[in-house]
Chains A and B, each alone.
Chain A
């Protein structure tokens, strides 16, 4: 059997494409969690982003409005979360779960009118270069702008946290909001900003699904990717580069198990479907088991409400 080397390139590219929404949502949630806020509403924010993007694209016909509209929708729904948890000091876990349920419900309601409408083609970059290099050509070229952004994001996030002043403030707030507040840092403002940023990235992840990955609206189309994104953040021990690795493994196994099902490998389908989840978690646990490093990168105040009293 002769395998076309470009075919392998195409498979790798499809793995990368399936990792995009996970990377976007995880990197957003990572910033939120680094500031000490646990937002379990990623799935809800993603699905809101998905329907908003698709609906705006259909109604306005503008891809730019649709993409930014989806991010704005993510910001708006995360503002609800931020208001509840930071201003009204509600419990992070309960509020996040409510946000997901709310997001799934409202997206289904809006989405009723958009079922069965075909999506628009999203422009890709460097299409012409695809065939210039064997193997690498299909991997590197011919993708959407969101795709390139997603693969740059873990590195940008890492740089932001380690090298910039604002990144340092985010980490400080996640480490000890009390100390930060006593240093004159506005903890609530920082946390609002991080929550809203997380919302924007989840919205973008959703828009990628409904506008680029599978350009159509299907109810519940995020299919648990928001939860995987959350798991990636924790199991990567809040390290953006490990998120990239985890997302690739997860995306890779998802694609491969489809192919295995297609060629009729005699393994129960349920096991194959579960495989990406199991392997991703095992790999991330193994690469992140240095307890000292975990201690240094875990936001100490994660999920704890901070209330400044006078």
Chain B
């Protein structure tokens, strides 16, 4: 049976932002639809409306000509709309089976049979009786998909599903989605990755700043045309000039180990690498393979053995982040609002947090506000932060502006080494470009970078050398121009 989903004139307004501005779209089963847009374009809001999580201010939704009233996720489920969220809606401490039975009305045995049938049909293999926190991201996503399939949905919505997957897992996912589509499930695929749209989808709807920009068949589009529609302007692509880097060693990690007592963390074992001046070492991997622990060990949030980190001929493994900064290291953590900046504090106060003995931000224990403000203004203008109010609380900066502020704060003291962790995570294309240009510039000034990132394209673009972290172990270090994203994908999944 054919499924027809129609949304007409959907509007959702938040204070200071129109998330969806009069959006109308029509979908038919048998095709895979892409909903493409940058972060903040309104695509997540739209699918949350479709799944009943958000109630629109105006507009109507029709499924096979029936007007749907979606006031809660339960309504969406009842109307056969299934949704796999970008951030999984799983209960980490419950077992897989408990996660699945919780919203099902079926008996244990019949549900188990049903799940087994689904898993056989689509080649999933997941142990149903272990807690979800022991699963990989790809497996967790499969649990979410199974949860939808149990209800035999008419519509399946996938919100940025590949952000946590390896290349292999991504192609497996695409195969499954194509199977679902062939079986008559209407698939709406939300993403900002152009390549995936070209590979998977039949039709593509592009959104920008809450508005629907275009709807077209994939055959009439290519990566460039979609990018232009998505961003609204032509983007210059930047390339790094690959030069012979110096052989002057800046940082050397020797047999670094970290054993965590928290079962949620990954242990690091026998980490060895070195970075030369002017070089960018990229560390690839699927999130949760020890990146966060590695970043913390390198930044000094986790103290390690004194001799395991040699920086500029000093052994600094036992120093805290503040002390390491004095040796001219700089850090840009993954979580901008939790680790890098304090959301409730003003921009200039956040700047003052990165203080050196030489920066004179404090006199006899008192805050030297003028000095800090002057310094903050310099960062804002040098690093293109789009605000002139340095007393603004940092939580009100957009992700891109906040990241520029953080990178600026770290770089204005001209450190020898910048360690950054997913620096462009969740940013729009414009901000990503700016950050990438900045990082390339650092290398050109003969300063070094350790770039821990889950974005393979970013790593290939910026790194001179690349290594892959898998289950807390580093692969051998490779020259970036000898590496392909396929090879990285295999290593990220634990292959050779």
If the complex has contacts A183-B73, A184-B103, are A171 and B93 also in contact, measured as CB distance less than 8 A?
A: yes
- On whether the beta carbons of B89 and A171 are closer than 8 Å, the reply is no
What CA separation (Å) do A184 and B263 show in the bound complex?
Answer: 29
> How near does chain A come to B312, taking the closest CB pair, in angstroms?
37
Residues of chain A within 8 A (CB-CB) of B264 are 295
What CA separation (Å) do A176 and B261 show in the bound complex?
Answer: 23
Q: Which of A164-196 contact B (CB under 8 A)?
A: 165, 168-169, 171-172, 175-176, 178-185
If the complex has contacts A168-B102, A295-B264, are A182 and B89 also in contact, measured as CB distance less than 8 A?
A: yes
- On whether the beta carbons of B101 and A295 are closer than 8 Å, the reply is no
- On whether the beta carbons of B94 and A175 are closer than 8 Å, the reply is yes
Cβ of B72 under 8 Å from chain A: yes
- On whether the beta carbons of B92 and A172 are closer than 8 Å, the reply is no
- On whether the beta carbons of B55 and A310 are closer than 8 Å, the reply is yes
What CA separation (Å) do A169 and B94 show in the bound complex?
Answer: 10
Cβ of A95 under 8 Å from chain B: no
Residues of chain B within 8 A (CB-CB) of A298 are 93
If the complex has contacts A184-B74, A291-B262, are A172 and B91 also in contact, measured as CB distance less than 8 A?
A: yes
Cβ of B53 under 8 Å from chain A: yes
Cβ of A296 under 8 Å from chain B: yes
Residues of chain A within 8 A (CB-CB) of B72 are 184
A181's closest neighbor in chain B, by CB? B73
If the complex has contacts A182-B85, A310-B55, are A296 and B73 also in contact, measured as CB distance less than 8 A?
A: no
Chain A interface extent, by class: 20 to 34
If the complex has contacts A291-B262, A296-B131, are A183 and B103 also in contact, measured as CB distance less than 8 A?
A: yes
What CA separation (Å) do A165 and B105 show in the bound complex?
Answer: 10
- On whether the beta carbons of A176 and B85 are closer than 8 Å, the reply is no
Residues of chain A within 8 A (CB-CB) of B145 are none
> How near does chain A come to B211, taking the closest CB pair, in angstroms?
22
Further 16 A-B residue pairs, CB within 8 A, beyond A176-B91, A298-B93? A165-B102, A168-B102, A172-B98, A172-B102, A175-B91, A176-B92, A179-B88, A182-B73, A183-B103, A184-B72, A184-B73, A291-B261, A295-B93, A295-B133, A295-B262, A300-B93
What are the interface flags for A145-163 relative to B under an 8 Å C-beta threshold, 1 for contact and 0 otherwise?
A: 0000000000000000000
Cβ of B229 under 8 Å from chain A: no
Residues of chain A within 8 A (CB-CB) of B74 are 184
A296's closest neighbor in chain B, by CB? B93
What CA separation (Å) do A59 and B93 show in the bound complex?
Answer: 48
> How near does chain A come to B242, taking the closest CB pair, in angstroms?
45
Provide 27 A-B residue pairs closer than 8 Å at the C-beta atoms, listed in order of the A residue. A165-B101, A165-B102, A168-B98, A169-B102, A171-B93, A172-B91, A172-B102, A175-B91, A175-B93, A175-B94, A176-B91, A176-B92, A178-B89, A180-B91, A181-B73, A182-B53, A183-B103, A184-B73, A184-B74, A185-B103, A291-B261, A295-B263, A295-B264, A296-B133, A297-B93, A300-B92, A310-B55
Cβ of A292 under 8 Å from chain B: yes
What CA separation (Å) do A182 and B98 show in the bound complex?
Answer: 16
- On whether the beta carbons of A168 and B55 are closer than 8 Å, the reply is no
What CA separation (Å) do A179 and B83 show in the bound complex?
Answer: 12
* Partner of B89 from A183, A291, A292, A296 at Cβ < 8 Å: A183
Cβ of B200 under 8 Å from chain A: no
- On whether the beta carbons of A179 and B73 are closer than 8 Å, the reply is no
Say whether chain B's binding surface is mostly helix, strand, loop, or mixed. loop
Most chain-B Cβ atoms within 10 A of its Cβ — which of A181, A298, A310? Answer: A310
Give chain B's interface residues, CB within 8 Å of chain A: 53-55, 72-74, 77, 85, 88-94, 98, 101-103, 131, 133, 261-264
> How near does chain B come to A169, taking the closest CB pair, in angstroms?
6
Residues of chain B within 8 A (CB-CB) of A165 are 101-102
Residues of chain B within 8 A (CB-CB) of A175 are 91-94
What CA separation (Å) do A169 and B99 show in the bound complex?
Answer: 10
What CA separation (Å) do A175 and B263 show in the bound complex?
Answer: 16
Say whether chain A's binding surface is mostly helix, strand, loop, or mixed. helix
If the complex has contacts A184-B73, A184-B74, are A171 and B91 also in contact, measured as CB distance less than 8 A?
A: yes
B78's closest neighbor in chain A, by CB? A184
Residues of chain A within 8 A (CB-CB) of B53 are 182
- On whether the beta carbons of A179 and B261 are closer than 8 Å, the reply is no
* Partner of B263 from A168, A179, A185, A291 at Cβ < 8 Å: A291
What CA separation (Å) do A182 and B144 show in the bound complex?
Answer: 12
Q: Which of A252-310 contact B (CB under 8 A)?
A: 291-292, 295-298, 300, 310
Residues of chain B within 8 A (CB-CB) of A310 are 54-55
What CA separation (Å) do A255 and B262 show in the bound complex?
Answer: 39
What CA separation (Å) do A274 and B131 show in the bound complex?
Answer: 39
> How near does chain B come to A66, taking the closest CB pair, in angstroms?
39
> How near does chain A come to B103, taking the closest CB pair, in angstroms?
5
In order of increasing CB-CB distance, the 5 nearest A-B pairs are: A184-B74, A179-B89, A175-B91, A184-B73, A182-B89
Residues of chain B within 8 A (CB-CB) of A171 are 91, 93-94, 98
Residues of chain B within 8 A (CB-CB) of A180 are 91
> How near does chain A come to B112, taking the closest CB pair, in angstroms?
15
> How near does chain A come to B60, taking the closest CB pair, in angstroms?
18
> How near does chain A come to B304, taking the closest CB pair, in angstroms?
21
If the complex has contacts A291-B263, A295-B263, A310-B54, are A183 and B102 also in contact, measured as CB distance less than 8 A?
A: yes
If the complex has contacts A182-B73, A182-B85, A296-B131, are A168 and B94 also in contact, measured as CB distance less than 8 A?
A: yes
> How near does chain A come to B256, taking the closest CB pair, in angstroms?
23
